[in-house]
Amino acid sequence: MHRHDRDGFQLVDIVKLAPFTPYFVALPLMFAVSLVNQQFWQGQGGSNPLLQIVLEEGDPVALLIFFFTAAVAAPIFEETLFRGFLLPSLTRYLPVWGAIGVSSLIFATAHLSLSEVLPLTTLGIVLGTVYTRSRGLLASMLLHSLWNSVTMIGLFILGSGVE
């Protein structure tokens, strides 16, 4: 038997959306931070030169490899390193919020793009919070993978000139 609120929504259905809650929290937060960041950098700064080459070439195998790297390999490696190892190590010396902040800043700078430090630090804070609340790497890995996948699909669409 399902419980309904007064508008007819099933409360069980809302609970099913819970795994996506961090993504829907991160999305407007990252959008706002990216807007501020864009105003500061005004289109200057770094981007991945390899991505630009892959997009220009349009080679489907290269695009698939790039997508796999961003959507699967990077989240597994980065979450294991930054949330699985670094963040818990930092909690020995800092409060949890401090460890999340420091590990997020290191995560952002490891991407070697000065103009992306602010948005990537913000993403790192979201991922660190998800990790500490879930008490496991799977949730932050899945969120990281979802984030990178949506970002890559958007870049592929923009890079292909689809309007």
Tell me how far apart the alpha carbons of residues 116 and 112 are, in angstroms, rounded to a whole number: 8
At 3-54, the pLDDT tens digits run 544 555 454 444 444 556 777 777 787 778 777 777 776 666 556 667 777 7
Q: Which residue is it, tokens 């103009």? A: 115
Give 84-103 pLDDT, tens digit per residue. 999 999 999 999 999 999 99
Q: Are 74 and 65 in contact (CB under 8 A)?
A: no
Asked if residues 144 and 135 have their Cβ atoms less than 8 Å apart, the reply is no
pTM score, whole prediction: 0.77
CA 114/CA 74 separation, integer angstroms? 19
141 with 79: CB under 8 angstroms?
yes
